[in-house]
């Protein structure tokens, strides 16, 4: 049930708007300023389009485009003018917003970051993309984990970005930390369409969580992004699916209270609970060990595939990036 896209909002509902934003070309500071203004205008469009909307979600690359340009002139910071403009837009239009920035990193390559701003203009969630789409993307891997924030009307929000959603552990971590709505922003192109659909559905079903996901749309003359906004129920059934029309806003109502109820009451297929309580019919409270070799190896710093030595693409040189000479620092650093 989508409540006719949110037109008929229930008392416990959260109306989401996913913006299939036109893919821009951004090469200069002037381009960045113009695209900031475009996003601000789309926040206003979202509010005028759907007065009941609680949260408007913009795709990855909505501010910078898909060129992978790391020019410091067009990188952003949390205290910069672009984020300030997004804060004002949320405050002025009394709406929550999810935005994408390429964030300056004085210690290395920029971060691909996302923020959620509330309807008072305050940042409630800040996330750095954990899994850049290698070997195509040059971004520094995120080092602050997956944060969760309280959202509108009983929702608990997580944000993962694009390729993150291909790893089931990302959605599981989001739900494990309490998220009942998992946002996924992306810039994907058409070859990823099938994987996009099945992972958004699987991430919802496996974790009893709503997933709300959106890509950029249209072409910048080089790349074609696919749009494909979709909101999936916590049972894995799509509620609404979008198209490839640039600047169209896909909307639906979701019910966090029903998601939370399912997590409490479901027996069959309450998978996120059963994952840590294996076979509870046979043994009290279920088995709570970690039988997964890859998890133990990752913790111990010895993750290695059986075919590790045969993997061909292990850096970005094939996509024109320099060979890195710096190791990742695993200690988490809050900005």
Per the domain annotation, does 302 fall within a domain?
no
Determine the distance from the C-alpha atom of residue 159 to the mean position of all C-alpha atoms in its chain, rounded to a whole number. Answer: 4
Question: Is 73 a member of any domain?
Answer: yes
94 given a catalytic annotation: no
Asked whether residue 296 is domain-assigned, the answer is: no
Q: What percent of the chain clears pLDDT 90, i.e. is strictly above it?
A: 95
Q: Is 134 helix (H, G, I), strand (E, B) or coil?
A: coil
Q: Is residue 317 part of a domain?
A: no
Per DSSP, the residues of 60-91 read TTTTT-SS----GGG-B-TTSHHHHHHHHHHH
Beta bridge partners of 214: 185
Q: What is the pLDDT of residue 17?
A: 98
What's the pLDDT score for residue 82? Answer: 98
Residue 253 pLDDT > 90: yes
- Contact in structure between 50 and 16 (CB atoms under 8 Å): no
Confidence at 2, pLDDT banded by 50, 70, 90: low
Is residue 60 within 8 Å of residue 100, measured between CB atoms?
Answer: yes
pLDDT for 334 equals 45
> What pLDDT shows up at residue 331?
55
Domain ranges, residue 114: 3-274
Is 323 part of any domain? no
Active site residue 162: yes
- Strand order, beta sheet including 111-117: 123-128, 111-117, 96-103, 55-57, 14-20, 248-254
What pLDDT is recorded for position 223? 87
- Burial class (CB within 10 angstroms; exposed 0-12, middle 13-18, buried 19+) of 241: middle
What per-residue confidence (pLDDT) applies to 329?
Answer: 80
Distance CA 184, CA 11 (A): 25
What b/e readout covers 19-46, taking b as 16+ CB neighbours within 10 angstroms? bbbbbbebeeeeebeebbeebbebbebb
**pLDDT tens-digit map of 220-239:** 999 899 999 999 999 999 99
Look at residue 99 and tell me if it is in a domain: yes
pLDDT beyond 50 at 335:
no
Cα(333)–Cα(335) distance, integer angstroms: 6
The number of beta carbons lying within 10 Å of the beta carbon of residue 312 is 5
Rounded CA gap, 124 and 158, in Å?
Answer: 11
- Label residues 266-304 b or e (16+ Cβ within 10 Å = b): beeeeebeeeeeeeeeeeeeeeeeeeeeeeeeeeeeeee
CATH number, domain containing residue 44: 3.60.110.10
Separate counts of helices (H) and strands (E) for the chain: 8, 14
Does residue 137 sit within a domain? yes
The structural domain count of the chain equals 1
Which residues make Cβ contacts (< 8 Å) with residue 229, sequence separation at least 6? 18, 19, 20, 213, 214, 215, 240, 241, 242, 248, 250
Phi, psi at 244, each rounded to 5°: -110, 15
Pick the catalytic residue from 9, 87, 103, 129: 129
- Does residue 60 have an active-site annotation? yes
Per residue in 182-194, pLDDT (tens digit) is 999 999 998 999 9
Cβ burial 97-106 (10 Å sphere, 16+ → b, else e): bbbbbbbbbe
Residue at 265 is within a domain: yes
Q: How confident is the model at residue 13 (pLDDT cuts 50, 70, 90)?
A: very high
Q: What separation in angstroms does the CA of 74 have from each of 134, 180, 283?
A: 22, 34, 57
- Choosing from 76, 90, 149, 162, which is the catalytic residue? 162
Q: Look at residue 93 and tell me whether its pLDDT is greater than 50.
A: yes
Residue 153, Cα to own-chain centre: how many angstroms? 20
Q: Please state whether the predicted TM-score (pTM) of the whole model is above 0.95.
A: yes
Q: Once rounded to an integer, what is the mean pLDDT over residues 2-22?
A: 93
The CA distance from 117 to 101, in Å, is: 13
Please write the tens of the pLDDT for every residue from 274-320: 999 999 999 999 999 999 999 999 999 999 999 999 999 999 999 99
Q: Is the pLDDT confidence value at 112 over 90?
A: yes
> Which DSSP state fits 110?
P
Determine the average pLDDT of the residues in 25-41. 98
pLDDT, average across residues 201-212? 98
Q: What is the pLDDT of residue 4?
A: 86
Residue 252 has pLDDT above 90, yes or no: yes
Helices 81-93 and 29-49, interaxial angle, to 10°?
10
SS3 content of the chain, % helix, strand, coil (to 5): 30, 25, 45
Terminal alpha carbon distance of the chain: 40
């Amino acid at each position: 049930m989508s409540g006719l896209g949110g037109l008929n909002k229930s008392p416990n509902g959260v109306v989401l708007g996913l913006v299939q934003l036109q893919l821009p070309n951004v090469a200069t500071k002037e381009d960045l300023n113009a695209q900031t203004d475009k996003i601000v205008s789309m926040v206003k469009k979202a509010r005028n389009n759907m007065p009941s909307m609680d949260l408007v979600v913009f795709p990855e690359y909505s501010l910078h485009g898909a060129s992978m340009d790391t020019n410091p002139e067009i990188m952003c910071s949390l205290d910069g003018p672009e984020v300030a403009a997004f804060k004002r837009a949320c405050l002025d239009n009394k709406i929550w917003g999810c935005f994408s920035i390429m964030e300056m990193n004085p210690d290395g390559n920029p971060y691909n970051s996302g923020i959620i701003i509330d309807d008072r203009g305050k940042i409630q969630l800040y996330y750095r993309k954990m899994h850049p789409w290698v070997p195509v993307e040059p971004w520094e891997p995120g080092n602050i984990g997956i944060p969760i924030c309280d959202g509108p009307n009983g929702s608990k929000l997580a944000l993962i970005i694009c390729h993150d959603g291909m790893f089931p552990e990302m959605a599981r971590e989001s739900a494990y930390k309490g998220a009942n709505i998992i946002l996924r922003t992306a810039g994907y192109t058409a070859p990823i369409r099938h994987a996009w659909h099945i992972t958004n559905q699987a991430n919802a079903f496996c974790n009893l969580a709503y997933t709300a996901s959106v890509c950029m749309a249209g072409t910048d003359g080089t790349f074609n992004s696919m749009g494909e906004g979709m909101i999936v129920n916590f049972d894995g059934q799509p509620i609404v699916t979008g198209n490839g029309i640039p600047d169209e806003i896909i909307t639906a109502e979701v019910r966090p209270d029903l998601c939370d109820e399912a997590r409490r009451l479901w027996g069959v297929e309450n998978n996120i609970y059963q994952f840590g309580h294996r076979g509870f019919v046979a043994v009290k409270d279920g088995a709570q060990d970690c039988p997964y070799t890859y998890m133990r190896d990752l913790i111990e710093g010895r993750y290695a595939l059986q075919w590790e030595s045969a993997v061909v693409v292990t850096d970005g040189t094939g996509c024109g990036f320099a060979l890195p000479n710096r190791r990742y620092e695993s200690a988490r650093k809050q900005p």
